[in-house]
Amino acid sequence: MAADAPTSAAASVVASRPSILRRLVALDTALSLRVHSFCRPVPRPLLKALEISGDGRFWFPIPIALLPLSSASGAAYSLFLGLLLGSLLDLLLVGLIKHLVRRPRPVYNKGMSLTFAVDHWSFPSGHSSRVFFIAAFLRLSSASLRRVLLFDGPIAPARRWIEDYYDGELAELLVWIVSTWSVATSTSRVLLGRHFVLDVIAGAFLGILEALLVLNFLHL
């Protein structure tokens, strides 16, 4: 009987885990619906614009088009290559996790065009992981970004004017803008009803992890 006690205790712990998970999902569902309902006055065209700005179909062509225009040994090449590799990694990880978890999207999700089968699933938010990857990648590789922006090329006059007006570095300003955009885009996923709050949080952490992996791989 004494030997059976630890086994029974372990079994009870295992049995309680689904209940805890269900409570967490229920809390997340209720919180997400409350946030979505409370923020209905936010203009939907603004939220849709943020949705489009974080779409992978918009971001994939950018590094692909800019890579051939960069020197293979330059900082710009490393940045664009990192953005491309991170986007591919994000697509792979988000698709895999969505396929494994298979959490349905909110029932109040309306007007969404689905491209792939995994887009029917909600966890994690691909938009959040993508935009947080971009923001974290630029933040952590700000030294390379600064070198790219310091070249004496066509943007030099505009760069000097912005820095004089801003009273700071253009790289710092760009990172701040991208970081703000990443938070706004991720928030819009809940306000549009595309995702639950936990989907967005998980996506954000996944994007930051992807940035760390890509930076470590490229040794930036």
The set of catalytic residues is 127, 195
CA distances from 180 to 131, 134, 188, 193, 215 (A): 10, 12, 12, 20, 21
ω into 124 cis (within 30 of 0): yes
On whether the CB atoms of residues 89 and 210 are closer than 8 A, the answer is: yes
Q: How many CA atoms lie within 13 A of 128 on its CB side?
A: 23
**3-state class (DSSP) for residue 121:** strand
Q: How far is CA 96 from the centre of its chain?
A: 15
On whether the CB atoms of residues 219 and 141 are closer than 8 A, the answer is: no
